[in-house]
Structure 1
Amino acid sequence: MSKRGYHHGNLRQALVEAALSLIEAKGPTGFTLTEAARQAGVTPAAVYRHFAGRDDLIAEAARQGYEIFAELMQYAYDGGQPSALAAFEATGRAYLAFARRHPGHYIAMFESGVSVNRNADLAAAANRARAVLEQAAADLSQHIPPAKRPPPAMFSAHIWALSHGVVELFARGSPGTRAPYPPEDLLESGIGIYLRGLGLLPPDT
């Protein structure tokens, strides 16, 4: 058996990459640690030097996913947008882009059943990603009179839920589903309706 993980000096990361590949192919519960070890080129016993079990391996894949996700969201928000509204909308598009570019991470984060509170590092990474969207919501909320202003956490949770729904139903090619419109258009129009209800966009003419 080839010891690829040892040769490149990072067995832990080799196992995570193997898990991501298997998650994409078989789902988060469709593979064993033995399969991950085989794909990484090591013996099953070597896995337990780094992970207590499959859920710990998936949790590390999810943690890395949240780190990538937070960076993409932050980049979208800080990307020289002309207004708080444009920056906020960019974070929604970043959500769709992440789900498409990093399907293994996305599944580990949102579909594996592994809690974000499984360990402190995973919780911190998840909170960092959530904080980007909350900051975007807080900045945009400054245009709403204080008496009518929703808490940023609620505001951002609504948009997160809308983005997640579009991804799950229409952006990941789920069997038997077909988007009536491009996912980007569905998300943009949905966010527009929500923001119009808050008075952040003018009524349709």
Structure 2
Amino acid sequence: MAEATPRAARGHYHHGALRQAMIAAAEEVLAERGLGGFTLRECARRAGVSPAAPAHHFGNLTGLLTAIATLGFDDLATAMEAAVTAAQAEGRSRLAAIARAYVETALANPGRFRVVFGQRGMDRLDPAFRAAATRAFGILVREVRLSRGSPPLHRPGEKPAAYALDPDLPEVLLAWSAVHGLSTLLIDGALDFLAGEGGRQAFLDRHAARLFALLASALPATEGLAKDNAHD
């Protein structure tokens, strides 16, 4: 019986469906074993294809991980943009909204999230990966700058390296570090002793509003910061 599923799947996953099947199988492996137990052979086995079959779509393990990471950045960007739209319609803080969206996206698919920010076998020069990463980071930059009253950057997605010269970069890094750190702590179970019976989602529901409001308030307006620096 153990062989039935792969053999049955082998006739189904071909042409365009193979890519989706491999990604689904890969994320299943990631959820069960993490990156340490992740192999192309195991992903192919679960997708019901030969170990050589995925080469057409991904080339190798690096290609598969890069495809998953690209989807992860797309997830983050889509969730943050949806949060901005909802927050704006309801008169809430856009920055606090994208912070929560970031954490909830990470909790919804922790395996994919780990690949996005992992150091194992990633092709960071892949055009689709770079476009997705730049889009997600650009949303964070935009919302931090808006919260501080800074003018928008000129075509920020065109040259990612230009972000290094952004005068608001320290505030962007503070916001990113806070939401990414919280996401990682929750995924790793480091806060389970505080979560109680309700679990991680209940913990987030209980504390997210105040936590992310504090984060937004920690990023002073540009004018006020300039005055403070003038007295240093």
TM-score between both structures, scaled by the size of structure 1? 0.80
Candidates 165, 178, 196, aligned match of 1:162: 178
The correspondence for 2:95, drawn from 88, 107, 114, is: 88
Task: Say if 2:62 and 2:123, in contact at 8 Å, map to a contact too.
Answer: no
Displacement of 1:33 after TM fit? 1.1
Residue 151 of structure 1: which of 149, 164, 167 is its match? 167
The answer for the alignment partner of 1:147 in structure 2 is none
* 1:139 alignment partner, one of 115, 140, 146: 146
Residues 42-94 of structure 1, C-alpha deviation per residue, up to 9 Å, x if partnerless? 111111122222121011011011112100011101214344x6111000110
Q: Give distance in 2, aligned partners of 1:101 and 1:194.
A: 22
Structure 2: which 5+ residue stretches go unaligned? 1-6, 151-165, 196-202, 222-232
Q: How many angstroms does 1:193 deviate by?
A: 4.0
Q: Is the 8 A contact 1:116 1:126 kept in 2?
A: no
AA of the residue aligned to 1:178: D
Structure 1 residue aligned with 2:22: 15
Deviates more, 1:108-117 or 1:29-38: 108-117
Shift of 1:198: 4.1
Q: 1:54 and 1:112, CA in 2 relative to 1: closer, same or farther beyond 3 A? A: same
Counterparts of residues 24-39 of structure 1 (less than 5 Å): 24-39=31-46
Q: 1:185 to 1:137 in 2, by over 3 A?
A: farther
| Count of residue correspondences | 191
Greater Rg over alpha carbons, structure: 2
Over 3 Å counting, the alpha-carbon distance change for 1:189 and 1:164 in structure 2 is: same
- Give, in whole Å, the separation in 2 of the partners of 1:131 and 1:64: 16
Distance 1:75 1:195, change over 3 A: closer
2:178 partner amino acid: L
Measured in 2, the distance between the counterparts of 1:67 and 1:194 equals 24
Residue in 2 that maps onto 1:68: 75
Tell me the distance in 2 between the aligned counterparts of 1:48 and 1:178: 40
More displaced 10-residue stretch of structure 1: 181-190 or 153-162: 181-190
Tell me whether 1:108 sits opposite 2:115 in the alignment.
yes
Q: TM-score, normalization: structure 2?
A: 0.72
Corresponding residue to 1:172 among 182, 187, 192: 187
- Correspondence 1:79 to 2:93: no
Compared CA separation, residues 186 and 9, structure 1 to 2 (3 A): same
CA RMSD of superposed structures (Å):
2.6
Q: Which has the higher helix share?
A: 2
**Unpaired runs of at least 5, structure 1:** 144-149, 201-205
Change (3 A) 1:162 1:65: same
Q: Cα gap change, 1:195/1:97 in structure 2, threshold over 3 Å: closer, same or farther?
A: closer
Which secondary structure state, in structure 1, belongs to the residue aligned with residue 49 of structure 2? coil
Per mean C-alpha deviation after superposition, the further-off stretch among 23-32 and 60-69 is 23-32
Rounded Cα–Cα distance in structure 2 between residues aligned with 1:115 and 1:188: 34
SS in 2 for 1:50: helix
